[in-house]
Structure 1
Amino acid sequence: MAASPDTASRARTGFRSDLVRQIGVISATCFMLAAAMVGTGLFGGTNVRDLQGGALDSDATVLAPDRPAFGIWTVIYLLMIAYTVWQALPGQRTRERQRAAGGWIAATAVLNGGWLLASQFLNLVATVVAIIVLLVALGATLRVLSRHRADSAVDVVLLDGTVGLHLGWVSLATVANITAWLTAEVAPASWEAYQDVAGIAVLVVVALVGVALAWRTGGRIAPALAMAWGLVWIGVARTTGEPASAPVGITAFVVAAVVLIAAVAVRVSPRGRSVLPR
């Protein structure tokens, strides 16, 4: 029996919409990777750590992670590439989870690249705005994923894992970015006398954010791992490099442990079993 004209029309519309989404994700990821190449200086730009008078480097503030911490971007970018290829497969085209999250993930890729371009060509205020918008978009993306359960291990790794790592790292990077802006352009010269106290206070807030994130996401491990990774490297930077601050460094190590323990505790709780993707 032939399909009705209305059914055929809806099928064509759905196919076009799905194809546009898939192409949009591919385009957004390519833009993000191109911006990353500019941000590392490979396309003639200046490396991010040397921009804005060095305000974004590992020795700029007491809340800046040591340089090896930024190696997590390699993992996030590789996962994004893998996700982009996977979501473009014909078998993924009409899946409801892809339809729900694809546009959001494309938006986060564009915003990621936008932050890199803002740091390269604009100013610290622009980077703060860009990273806050990126953080909000990542949170919204993870919320969308929470409403549509995963149905395979690949789903969990390439959707939940990619977005989770991205969200966890950007959560911490937002704190570091705002601190860099305040230190470079807002805080008075006397700020240095209070940087230990301020750094510890901010890390306490980070701990609360990490615990809240664990609770809201049902104990997802990827965001906690990314946050803890950055916190550990803040601790390393403060205890082995400049500006030296043993109190901030020790606090960063403690907060890293708190974030991980909170995620594991929620994951094995009834809430984690009900919220987490299966």
Structure 2
Amino acid sequence: MTTNGARRDGIRAAAVLAAALAQIVGSPLGSALAGRSVGAVSDETGSLITPAGYAFTVWGVIFAGSLAWAVYQALPAQRGRALHRGTGWPLAAAFAGNAAWEIAFPLIGVSVPLVPLVLLFCIVAATAVAWARLQELPVEGLGRVLPAAVAGLLLGWVTVAAAVNAGQAGVALGAPASGTTAQVWAVVALIAVALIASALVLSARAAAGPFTAAVVWGVLAVAVAGGPAPVVVTALAAAGAVAVALVVRTVVRRDPVTLLVG
């Protein structure tokens, strides 16, 4: 490897590690700056597709996995792997975006809600790039599992979170939080999440298991939150549709371990 190549790998590895740490401290920092937590703003702007509170514990799993992978890919023997080169910068951008969102949402989630929403869609885009690249990279043993799990879980969760945040932004801007119009919007949003997630699962070659788990976790939590019957039924149907898509893809995929795990 050339000196320039090694330097670029080192810079990328350091950026991933710094961004993984930043997203861990972003939430308490944002709460301290705003004087209120992400949860408090979420409650204030809650829509019919805001999941039950327990669902957000998935961030703990994502953060732990992200940090573990960030440390692993920073090891000298790992920096030059094609897997880490292909997924490093997109995931670093996603982690940094998470940190920015965690600061912006408590500060301006009510007054300027479109800014956190745009940040979240940027996080989705960055994570989707990493996940798409993962599909094209050759399987290289157990060292592939960690970044695959991180990318899959993060993309699955932020796919749901983007719809949730859009609903919260609408409420913050004056849209009704309940009633017929709110129910119609919630049903449409859940159907959109189900269609997008199912399409990604059916086209996946790797890491579809973590992705599906995160999506199903999120939409089931919408049902558990106990909204109007049409929203609850649609959330349950969305979870079922994505799970069925994974079963179908697993049956037709010749390498189910890579599909399900990474």
Common fold, TM-score beyond 0.5?
yes
Q: Give the equivalent residue in structure 2 for 1:153.
A: 142
| Residue 255 (str. 1) matches residue 238 (str. 2) | yes
Query: TM-score, normalised on structure 1?
Result: 0.85
Gaps of 5+ in 2: none
CA distance in 2, matches of 1:198, 1:234: 14
| Residue in structure 1 matching 2:56, options 46, 70, 92 | 70
Q: Tell me which moved more, 226-235 or 21-30.
A: 21-30
Query: TM-score, normalised on structure 2?
Result: 0.89
- Structure showing greater radius of gyration is 1
| Residue in structure 2 matching 1:171, options 149, 156, 159 | 159
Residue 270 (structure 1) shift: 3.9
Q: Give the equivalent residue in structure 2 for 1:241.
A: none
Q: Give the equivalent residue in structure 2 for 1:98.
A: 84
CA distance in 1, matches of 2:43, 2:61: 27
**One-letter code aligned to 2:10:** L
* Residue correspondence of structure 1 range 176-187 to structure 2 within 5 A: 176-187=164-175
Name the % identity.
Answer: 27
* Residue correspondence of structure 1 range 267-278 to structure 2 within 5 A: 267-270=250-253, 276=259
1:16-73 alpha-carbon deviations (Å, 9 max, x no partner):
111111111111112211212224x468742102127711xxxx21100000000000
| Residue 25 (str. 1) matches residue 21 (str. 2) | no
CA distance in 2, matches of 1:75, 1:275: 21
CA distance in 2, matches of 1:89, 1:169: 28
CA distance in 1, matches of 2:113, 2:254: 39
Residue 184 (structure 1) shift: 2.5
| Residue in structure 2 matching 1:223, options 188, 199, 211 | 211
Q: Tell me which moved more, 102-111 or 197-206.
A: 197-206
| Residue in structure 2 matching 1:139, options 122, 128, 144 | 128
CA distance in 1, matches of 2:20, 2:185: 37
Q: Tell me which moved more, 112-121 or 159-168.
A: 112-121
**One-letter code aligned to 1:155:** R
**One-letter code aligned to 2:236:** F
Kindly indicate whether the alpha-carbon contact (under 8 Å) linking 1:25 and 1:105 is maintained by their aligned counterparts in 2.
Answer: yes
Residue 191 (structure 1) shift: 6.4
1:209-246 alpha-carbon deviations (Å, 9 max, x no partner):
121111232371111110100111100002xxxxx312
CA distance in 1, matches of 2:223, 2:129: 30
Gaps of 5+ in 1: 1-9, 239-243
CA distance in 1, matches of 2:34, 2:159: 29
Kindly indicate whether the alpha-carbon contact (under 8 Å) linking 1:118 and 1:127 is maintained by their aligned counterparts in 2.
Answer: yes
CA distance in 1, matches of 2:203, 2:86: 19
Compute the RMSD of aligned alpha carbons: 2.4
**One-letter code aligned to 1:46:** R
